[in-house]
Chains A and B, each alone.
Chain A
Amino acid sequence: MHPRHAALVAFCDGESGAAGNRRIARHLTKCTCCQEQLGLIRNEKDELSAAATSLHTDSAAGLAEVLSAMAAWRDGRSNGAASELRRRLRGRIELYCGAAAVSLVERPGMRADELLGKTSQVLEVFLGPMAAEAVRDEVLGGLNWAAPDGEMG
């Protein structure tokens, strides 16, 4: 009695169990028909495996490419916004405190969100919270800029 096709597939995948493996292996030594069928199953399996590997490689490369493009787009956008934010903040510091105050408020290597925080703090102390909030709103107005998590009060 020939084993069923599903049983041959399970045998090929090593999922027939110990008793099933022994039984099918004993049958295959005598049956050329089942040997041929097992050969076909293995060929199909190899083809599918090769196709799946090829598909996986292409997807990974494509995904990486898409992610890279997205990051470049986001970095470019955020760098532009941060640069514009810095420019506006410097202008506000110069207007309210004075030109010399810019170098005192903005430390070297300070991020845009840090400069925003420091400027807001200075203006809140010297102008009051309402005026400082108005300046902050004005500075951020029309700017597609989002502060990193935990930076904005």
Chain B
Amino acid sequence: MMARKSSFEGIESAPRWILLFLGASLLVHLFVLYLWNAAGQIFSIQGSSDSTGALSVTGMAAVNLWLCLLVLRTFPAGAPLRATWMLMTAAAAAATVAGLLAQLLGTEVSPIEQVRIATLVAGGPLRLALLSAALLTVLRTLRKFGFWVRPTAADWAVSAIVGLFAVCRFVEAAAANHPLSFEDGASLAELPILCVLSLEAMLLRQAVGRMGSGLIARVWMALVGGVLLTVAGEFALWVIPHFEHALPHAMFATLIRLPIAAAFALVPACQLAAQRCAVQPPAAQPEDLPSGVPALAR
């Protein structure tokens, strides 16, 4: 009981809290969706779920930013992974700012056009480009320490599937009768970056797989999960409206984007958990007690 209580104390328990919040949110959303379906879809859940869902996604992005800042402080200037964590922090900041501005200004009509454009760019292509650069620096560092693998057929296949999806989106946009909105343009601009990002994520997955399942490996596997969920989410958000028109899309968007935001928040959370595990006093690690006992006493 005490062990369970202590496992939820301190910043090292952040991954558990994130997963707990994600699980609870998804359960609530699925329950509402079930009720809505059981009630014969007689009431609208679009309006309420749009704002609350986006708020929870923005809240998760803010948590991600805060945790990234905590991690960034532990890497001094000149540390090999400082650039990675700076890029991760910048990506989290972009997502948070974009989410907050979208909440404050609304997505449809904004009094300040430039701010709306900046919001779309920051939350979309800019964030993904920053993540792509962060992944590149991690891959370089892993290569330096021998945790490097060559891309396999599966890696190329995933990247090709994402590329095919991008081509489909571009073709669809070109065939559309109406002119492209800035939202559509920003969404299309994300696609080439997603292709690169997916290949990087697959390489990172393999490189980290060579490590095993340690605390550091979990950090980068969370990033891989975040990127692959982003790709899958983009695909799902594009495909679902083509086949199902009655579903509340805002709720679906939340159901998809919240796990993505949670996966990205898990990256710094797992990093902090690993660091706290390292700096814990030996007294807090009973399994290593004999190592602290003098040889004579043993």
Contacts and interface: CB of A to CB of B under 8 A. Distances in A.
B274 interface: yes
A134 B277 CA distance: 10
A88 B287 CA distance: 12
Contacts of A129: 76, 79
Contacts of B209: 100
Looking at B214, B277, B278, B292, the one whose CB has the most chain A CB atoms below 10 A away is B278
Interface residues of A, number: 31
A144 interface: yes
30 contacts: A88-B291, A93-B214, A94-B212, A96-B278, A97-B214, A98-B216, A99-B213, A100-B209, A101-B211, A104-B145, A104-B146, A104-B147, A122-B145, A123-B278, A125-B141, A125-B145, A126-B141, A126-B216, A127-B275, A128-B75, A130-B74, A134-B278, A134-B279, A138-B285, A141-B282, A141-B291, A142-B292, A142-B294, A142-B295, A144-B295
Q: Which 10 pairs, one residue from A and one from B, show the smallest C-beta to C-beta distance?
A: A98-B212, A131-B278, A98-B214, A128-B74, A98-B211, A100-B212, A134-B279, A97-B214, A99-B212, A131-B275
Interface of A: 84, 88, 93-101, 104-105, 122-132, 134-135, 138, 141-144
Contacts of B76: 128-129
A127 B79 CA distance: 10
A142 B295 CA distance: 8
B278 A126 contact: no
Nearest to B298: A142
A94 B277 CA distance: 13
A128 B210 contact: no
Given A97-B212, A125-B81, A131 B291 contact: no
A131 B212 contact: no
Nearest to B74: A128
Interface residues of B, number: 33
Contacts of A126: 81, 141, 216, 219
A11 to B, nearest CB: 63
A96 B145 contact: no
A127 B293 contact: no
B217 interface: yes
B9 interface: no
Contacts of B274: 96, 127, 131
Given A101-B210, A141-B291, A144-B295, A95 B282 contact: no
A118 B109 CA distance: 56
Given A101-B212, A129-B76, A135 B291 contact: no
B291 A143 contact: yes
A98 B214 CA distance: 4
Looking at B79, B212, B213, the one whose CB has the most chain A CB atoms below 10 A away is B212
Contacts of B136: none
A94 B147 CA distance: 14
Looking at A96, A99, A132, the one whose CB has the most chain B CB atoms below 10 A away is A96
Given A96-B274, A96-B278, A142-B291, A125 B80 contact: yes
